[in-house]
C-alpha cells in the first residue's frame, strides 16, 4: 500500500512539474518583433531601438522602436497573452504591420494601457489594435498622457471588445479605405474621453459600437475635444439589436467639445438617449443633421473681494484669475498679500494643485528638511519624483526660503520638460551675467514665451524674490497659453 502510494505521489509530482514551469513561464507570454520574451531575453532589438519587458510590473518599454515582425503564425507585431500590459513610450516608436499584421493583438482578455512621453505611430497595419474576441467580452484599452497616430489601417484603427479610455492624450486616426470603421467598441463597451484631443476621419463610421448583441454601449465625453468625421456614413453608428432594431447605446457630453460630421446624419443614437450637461449646449447643427457641434461653456467667474487687491492694480486681473480658478488662495484674514514674498514650498504646492497631481501615495522625500506630515510634504515629494525640483547641494529643499524669479523659471521650465531654447534672447538684459548657470535656459525659455518679463526693459533681476502678485501673473499667462494642459 505504501509502495503504491509512493508511486502515485511520484507520478503526480512528475506530472505537476511541467505545469509549474508553465505557470511561471506564462508571465512571459508576450511577443514583440518576432521574438518571445523569456527570463533570459528581456530586451529585444527593434530597428534602431529596443523593446524591454519588466515581468514584475508587466511593463513593456518601447524606446525609439520600429516593430515590424510577427512571431510564427501570430497576427500582431506586438502579441500579448497576459492579463494586463502597460506599454510605456520613450522617443518615437512605430508599429508597422506591412499590410497583413495588426499593430497590437490580444485575442484574449489583456487590458492594455499605452502611456509615456514618447509617441506611437501605427503604420500600414491590418487592425491598429485588436483586443478581445468578436462576440465575447474582451478587455480594455487605455491611452493615457501620450500621443498615438493610426494611419490607413486595412480594418479598424482601434478595435476593442470592451472599454476604450482616452485620458489627456493626443490621438489621431485617419483611414481612407472604405471597408471598415475608425474605432470599434463591441460587447458592452464604453468609450470615454477625459481630456486631450481625439480626432477620427474615416470613410465609414468614425465610431462603431455593437455587433447585434444586446449589451449596452456608451460614448462619454467628460473633457477635452472629440472630433469624428465620416465621409460615407454616420459619424457615430450603433449596430441595431437583432430583429428588434433597438439601439442599445447612450451618448453623454459632460464637458469639453464634441464635433461630429456624417454623410447624412451625425448618429443613429436616438435623441432621447443623448444627454448634455447643463453647461453643454449645441452651438452648430443638430443630431439629425449632417453635422453637430456641442461644447461646454465656462461658468462666469465671480470676483473675489480681497481688501488689499483693487481694480486698477497691475496685478488685479491675475489675482482674480488665479483665485477664482482655485490656483492661489488668500490668507485666513481675507487678504491676498500681493506684495508678500512666496516661499519655495508654497510655490510647489500651487504647481501640484494646478497640475492635478496625485500626491496621496507619497510617504517619503529624499530632501532632508522636508516634513512629510506638513501641508507641503507630499507636493514636494511629488515634484522631486517628477524631477521638477532637485533641492540644494546640501541635500535640503530650502523649506521657508523665499523663492527667487530664476527658481520659479527653473521649476516651470522643468515642468514643461525642458524644451530647447536659444539663450541669445537674454543678450538684451544688462544683468544677464547675474543669472545662475542652472537657470540660464529656464530664464531664456520663460522670457521667450512671455512667462516672465524683465523688471525693466534692460533688467531681469533673476535673484530677486518673487511676490505673490508676480506668481499670479506668471501662472495666468501660462494657463491662458494652454501650457498647463499640454
Q: How many CB atoms lie within 10 A of CB 413?
A: 22
What is the three-class DSSP state of 474? helix
The residue that leads in pLDDT, 185 or 383, is: 383
pLDDT at 57 over 80: yes
Q: Is the pLDDT of residue 408 over 90?
A: yes
The continuous run of DSSP H or E covering 228 comes out as strand 217-230
* pLDDT classification of 485: cutoffs 50, 70, 90: low
Q: At residue 109, does pLDDT exceed 80?
A: no
Residues 462-477, mean pLDDT to the nearest whole number: 96
Return d(Cα 449, Cα 41) in angstroms, integer: 46
Query: 410 Cβ partners below 8 Å, 6+ apart?
Result: 438, 439, 442
Question: How far is the C-alpha of 261 from the C-alpha of 196, rounded, in Å?
Answer: 19
How many other β-carbons are positioned within 10 Å of the β-carbon of residue 269?
Answer: 22
> Which of 7-21, 67-81, 124-138 is predicted least confidently?
7-21
Q: What is the mean pLDDT of residues 172-193?
A: 86
pLDDT band at 213 (very low <50, low <70, confident <90, very high): low
Q: How far is CA 14 from CA 1, 5, 6, 17, 117, in A?
A: 20, 14, 12, 5, 48
| pTM beyond 0.75, yes or no | no
- Which grid coordinates belong to 257? 467639445
Q: How confident is the model at residue 179 (pLDDT cuts 50, 70, 90)?
A: confident
Burial (CB count <10 Å: 0-12, 13-18, 19+), residue 437? exposed
Q: Are 271 and 243 in contact (CB under 8 A)?
A: no
* DSSP per-residue letters across 81-136: -SSEEEEEEESEEEEE-TTTSEEEEE-S--EEEEESSSEEEEES-SSSEEES-TTS
pLDDT given for residue 15 in this prediction: 45
Query: Is residue 350 over pLDDT 90?
Result: yes
Q: Which residue has the cell 500626491?
A: 359
Q: What is the pLDDT of residue 36?
A: 93
476, 322 Cβ separation under 8 angstroms: yes
- DSSP output for 332-371: TTS---TTSBPBHHHHHHHHHHHHT---TT----SSTT--
Q: Is residue 158 within 8 Å of 186, Cβ to Cβ?
A: no
Residue 279 has pLDDT above 80, yes or no: yes
Question: With contact defined as beta carbons under 8 Å apart, do 201 and 182 qualify?
Answer: yes
Average pLDDT, the chain: 89
How far apart CA 481 and CA 486 sit, in angstroms, is: 10
List, for residues 5-27, the tens digit of each pLDDT value: 333 434 444 444 444 344 446 78
How many other C-beta atoms are found inside a 10 Å radius of the C-beta of residue 42? 13
Amino acid at each position: 500500500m505504501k509502495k503504491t502510494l509512493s508511486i502515485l505521489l511520484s507520478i503526480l509530482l512528475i506530472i505537476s512539474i511541467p505545469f509549474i514551469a508553465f505557470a511561471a513561464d506564462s508571465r512571459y507570454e508576450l511577443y514583440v518583433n518576432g521574438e518571445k520574451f523569456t527570463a533570459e531575453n528581456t530586451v529585444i532589438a527593434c530597428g534602431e531601438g529596443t523593446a524591454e519587458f519588466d515581468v514584475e510590473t508587466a511593463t513593456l518599454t518601447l524606446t525609439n522602436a520600429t516593430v515590424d515582425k510577427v512571431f510564427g503564425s501570430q497576427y500582431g507585431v506586438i502579441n500579448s497573452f497576459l492579463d494586463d500590459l502597460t506599454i510605456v513610450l520613450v522617443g518615437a516608436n512605430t508599429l508597422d504591420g506591412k499590410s497583413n499584421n495588426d499593430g497590437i493583438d490580444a485575442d484574449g482578455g489583456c487590458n492594455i494601457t499605452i502611456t509615456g512621453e514618447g509617441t506611437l505611430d501605427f503604420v500600414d497595419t491590418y487592425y491598429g489594435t485588436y483586443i478581445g474576441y468578436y462576440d465575447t467580452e474582451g478587455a480594455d484599452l487605455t491611452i493615457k498622457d501620450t500621443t498615438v497616430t493610426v494611419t490607413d489601417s486595412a480594418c479598424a484603427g482601434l478595435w476593442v471588445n470592451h472599454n476604450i479610455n482616452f485620458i489627456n492624450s493626443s490621438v489621431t486616426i485617419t483611414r481612407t479605405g472604405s471597408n471598415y470603421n475608425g474605432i470599434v467598441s463591441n460587447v458592452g463597451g464604453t468609450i470615454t474621453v477625459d481630456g486631450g484631443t481625439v480626432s477620427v476621419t474615416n470613410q465609414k463610421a468614425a465610431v462603431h459600437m455593437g455587433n447585434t448583441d444586446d449589451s449596452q454601449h456608451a460614448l462619454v465625453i467628460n473633457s477635452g475635444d472629440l472630433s469624428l468625421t465620416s465621409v460615407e456614413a454616420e459619424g457615430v453608428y450603433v449596430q441595431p439589436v437583432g430583429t428588434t432594431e433597438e439601439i442599445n447605446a447612450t451618448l453623454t457630453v459632460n464637458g469639453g467639445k464634441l464635433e461630429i460630421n456624417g454623410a447624412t446624419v451625425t448618429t443613429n443614437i436616438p435623441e432621447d438617449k443623448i444627454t448634455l450637461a447643463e453647461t453643454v449646449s449645441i452651438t452648430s447643427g443638430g443630431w439629425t443633421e449632417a453635422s453637430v457641434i456641442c461644447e461646454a461653456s465656462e461658468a462666469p467667474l465671480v470676483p473675489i473681494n480681497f481688501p488689499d487687491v483693487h481694480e486698477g492694480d497691475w496685478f488685479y486681473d491675475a489675482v482674480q484669475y488665479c483665485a477664482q480658478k482655485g490656483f492661489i488662495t488668500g490668507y485666513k484674514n481675507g487678504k491676498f498679500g500681493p506684495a508678500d514674498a512666496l516661499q519655495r514650498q508654497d510655490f510647489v504646492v500651487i504647481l501640484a494643485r494646478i497640475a492635478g497631481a496625485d500626491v496621496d501615495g507619497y510617504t517619503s522625500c529624499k530632501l532632508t528638511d522636508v516634513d512629510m506630515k506638513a501641508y507641503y510634504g507630499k507636493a514636494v515629494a511629488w515634484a522631486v519624483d517628477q524631477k521638477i525640483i532637485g533641492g540644494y547641494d546640501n541635500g535640503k529643499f530650502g523649506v521657508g526660503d523665499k523663492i527667487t524669479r530664476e527658481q520659479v523659471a527653473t521649476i516651470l521650465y522643468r515642468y514643461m520638460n525642458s524644451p530647447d531654447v536659444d539663450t541669445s534672447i537674454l543678450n538684451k538684459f544688462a544683468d544677464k551675467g547675474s543669472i545662475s548657470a542652472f537657470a540660464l535656459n529656464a530664464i531664456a525659455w520663460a522670457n521667450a514665451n512671455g512667462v516672465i518679463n524683465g523688471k525693466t526693459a534692460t533688467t531681469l533681476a533673476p535673484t530677486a524674490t518673487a511676490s505673490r502678485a508676480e506668481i499670479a501673473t506668471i501662472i495666468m499667462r501660462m494657463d491662458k497659453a494652454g501650457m498647463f494642459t499640454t
